[in-house]
C-alpha cells in the first residue's frame, strides 16, 4: 500500500521554521476535526467514562481534548440483565445493552455540566431504526453545548431482520445520510470492526456525508464458565475491548486512512501514549481511550503528556506525526 504524505506537513514546517534560534520548540498538539477544535487529540471513549461528571473527582476534565458520552437513544433504556461484564486475559467483554437516560434527560441533567468544560463534548447516538437515530438527533439538536455527534452504527436494525447497520454498506449509507440531513453539528461515524473489509463501510459513510470516522467499536466475543456450562455474560455474546484488540484496531485505522479522505479517530486498547501514537502514525488525527478508564482513570492525561513529550523529543508538531508511517 502506498504511503500517504501527511496532509499537514507543509503548514507545520512553516510554523516550526518561525521558532527563533535559541528559543525552545513548543509543539502544537491541538487539532481540528470536522470543524471542531480540540485542545489536544485525546478523548474518552463512549460507555467507558459515563457522562463525564462521574470522573470529575478523579480526573481534571478540563485537560481532556474531548469527552464522548455514553450512547444516547431517543428514549431511556434499562440495558441488559447482569452479569453484563467479564474480564478476559487482556481486556473485557461487555453487554451493557446501551443503558442510558435518553436524549431529553441527557439535555436536562448531563449537558449543563459538560458545557462548562474546555473538553469538547461528543454525544454518541444510537437507535434500532433509521427513524430512531433521526429522532434522537432532533431532540439533541435542541441542546446547547454539544460539539458533535458520534453515530454508533453497531446496532441491529430491527426492521431489517436485525442486520447490523455497520456491517452493511447500504444500511450505513442510509443511516448516515439521514443523520446528516437533520444534524445541527458534525457527524462522526463510529465503525464496527465486525466486518470482513472495514474500508467498505468507511467509504459508504464518507459517501453519505460523514464528517469524520471513529474506529473501532468492540469485537463480538463470548466466554463460557465450564463448570456451569453457562455463558459468562447474560446476553451470551458480548463486545470485546481492551489491550488485546489494539493490533487489529491499528490495522483497521491504517487501511481506512488509505481508503477515505475524511479525518479518523483511532480507538481500541489504548492504555499509554505509545499505544495512541501507533494509531496516530497509522493515520488517526485523534484517539479515544476506553477500557483503560476503568482501571486507570488518569490514562487519558498520561497519554496527552506522552504525546507532547514525543513531539518535543522529535521536534515535530502533532499534525506532522499523523500518518507518518514509513513502509
Ligand X SMILES: Cc1cc2nc3c(=O)[nH]c(=O)nc-3n(C[C@H](O)[C@H](O)[C@H](O)COP(=O)(O)O)c2cc1C
Q: At what angle do helices 169-182 and 130-140 cross, to 10 degrees?
A: 30
Q: Tell whether residue 98 is a contact of ligand X (CB under 6 A).
A: yes
Q: Looking at residue 42, what DSSP letter applies?
A: E
Selecting among 68, 121, 136, 155, the annotated active-site residue is: 155
Q: Which stretch binds ligand X (CB under 6 A): 6-14, 23-31, 195-203, 238-246?
A: 238-246
CA angle 275, 94, 268 (to 5 degrees): 15
Binding mask 162-181 for ligand X (x = CB under 6 A): --------------------
3-class secondary structure, 41: coil
Restricting to residues 1-40, name those near ligand X by CB under 6 A.
none
* Minimum separation from the CB atom of position 324 to ligand X (A): 22
- Contact (Cβ atoms closer than 8 angstroms) between residue 106 and residue 69: yes
In 3-state terms, what secondary structure has residue 261? coil
Segment lying near ligand X (by CB under 6 A), choices 45-53, 108-116, 140-148, 276-284 = 45-53
Cβ closest to ligand X, residue 125 vs residue 316 = 125
Residue in 73, 152, 192, 235 binding ligand X, rule: CB under 6 A: 152
The answer to whether residue 47 forms part of the interface with ligand X (CB under 6 A) is yes
- DSSP string over 156-217: EEGGGTTEEGGG-HHHHHHHHHHHHHH-SS-EEEE--S-SS-HHHHHHHHHHTT-SEEEE--
From candidates 64, 70, 204, 253, binder to ligand X by CB under 6 A:
70
213 neighbors 189 (Cβ within 8 angstroms): yes
Please pick, from the candidates 12, 73, 256, 291, the single residue that binds ligand X as defined by CB under 6 A.
291
> At closest approach, how far in Å is the CB of 47 from ligand X?
2
Q: Is 311 a catalytic residue?
A: no
CB 34 within 8 A of CB 180: no
According to the binding rule CB under 6 A, does residue 218 interact with ligand X?
yes
Q: Does 193 bind ligand X (CB under 6 A)?
A: no
How far lies 49's CA from each of 59, 133, 221, 242, in Å?
A: 11, 22, 22, 14
124 binds ligand X (CB under 6 A): yes
Q: Which of 40, 18, 46 is nearest to 321 (CA)?
A: 40
d(CA 246, CA 269): 5
The number of CA neighbours under 13 Å toward the Cβ of 187 is: 30
- Measured from the CB of residue 77, what is the shortest distance to ligand X in angstroms? 10
From the list 190, 203, 232, 317, which residue makes contact with ligand X (rule: CB under 6 A)? 190
Question: Minimal CB distance to ligand X: which residue?
Answer: 47
Cell numbers standing for residue 283: 493515520
Terminal-residue alpha carbon distance, the chain: 9
Q: Which of 27, 127, 242, 297 binds ligand X (CB under 6 A)?
A: 242
**Nearer Cβ to ligand X (186/242):** 242
Between 27 and 127, CB nearer to ligand X: 127
**Of the candidate residues 34, 45, 67, 316, the single one contacting ligand X (CB under 6 A):** 45
Q: Which residues are catalytic?
A: 155
Q: Where along the sequence are the contacts to ligand X (CB under 6 A)?
A: 45-48, 70-71, 92, 94, 96, 98, 124, 152, 190, 217-218, 241-242, 245, 267-270, 289-291
Amino acid at each position: 500500500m502506498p504511503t500517504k504524505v501527511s496532509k499537514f506537513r507543509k503548514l507545520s514546517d512553516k510554523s516550526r521554521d518561525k521558532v527563533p534560534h535559541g528559543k525552545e520548540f513548543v509543539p502544537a498538539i491541538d487539532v481540528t476535526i470536522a470543524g471542531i477544535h480540540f485542545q489536544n487529540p485525546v478523548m474518552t471513549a463512549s460507555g467507558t467514562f459515563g457522562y463525564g461528571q462521574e470522573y470529575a473527582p478523579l480526573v481534571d476534565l478540563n485537560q481532556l481534548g474531548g469527552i464522548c458520552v455514553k450512547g444516547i437513544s431517543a428514549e431511556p433504556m434499562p440495558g441488559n440483565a447482569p452479569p453484563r461484564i467479564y474480564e478476559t486475559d487482556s481486556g473485557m467483554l461487555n453487554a451493557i445493552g446501551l443503558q442510558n437516560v435518553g436524549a431529553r434527560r441527557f439535555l436536562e441533567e448531563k449537558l449543563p455540566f459538560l458545557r462548562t468544560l474546555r473538553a469538547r463534548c461528543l454525544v454518541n447516538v444510537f437507535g434500532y431504526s433509521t427513524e430512531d437515530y433521526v429522532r434522537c438527533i432532533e431532540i439533541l439538536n435542541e441542546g446547547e453545548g454539544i460539539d458533535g455527534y458520534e453515530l454508533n452504527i453497531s446496532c441491529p436494525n430491527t426492521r431489517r431482520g436485525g442486520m447490523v447497520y455497520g456491517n452493511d454498506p447500504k444500511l450505513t449509507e442510509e443511516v448516515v445520510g439521514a443523520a446528516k440531513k437533520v444534524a445541527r453539528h458534525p457527524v462522526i461515524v463510529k465503525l464496527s470492526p465486525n466486518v470482513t473489509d472495514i474500508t467498505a463501510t468507511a467509504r459508504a459513510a464518507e459517501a453519505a456525508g460523514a464528517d469524520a470516522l471513529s474506529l473501532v467499536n468492540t469485537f463480538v466475543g463470548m466466554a463460557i464458565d465450564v463448570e456451569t456450562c453457562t455463558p459468562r455474560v447474560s446476553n451470551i455474546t458480548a463486545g470485546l475491548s481492551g489491550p488485546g484488540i489494539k493490533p487489529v484496531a491499528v490495522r483497521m485505522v491504517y487501511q481506512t486512512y488509505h481508503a477515505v479522505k475524511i479525518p479518523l479517530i483511532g480507538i481500541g486498547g489504548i492504555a499509554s501514549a505509545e499505544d495512541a501514537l501507533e494509531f496516530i502514525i497509522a493515520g488517526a488525527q485523534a484517539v479515544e481511550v476506553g477500557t483503560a478508564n476503568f482501571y486507570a482513570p488518569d490514562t487519558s492525561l498520561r497519554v496527552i503528556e506522552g504525546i507532547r513529550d514525543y513531539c518535543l523529543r522529535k521536534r515535530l508538531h502533532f499534525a506532522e506525526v499523523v500518518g507518518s508511517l514509513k513502509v
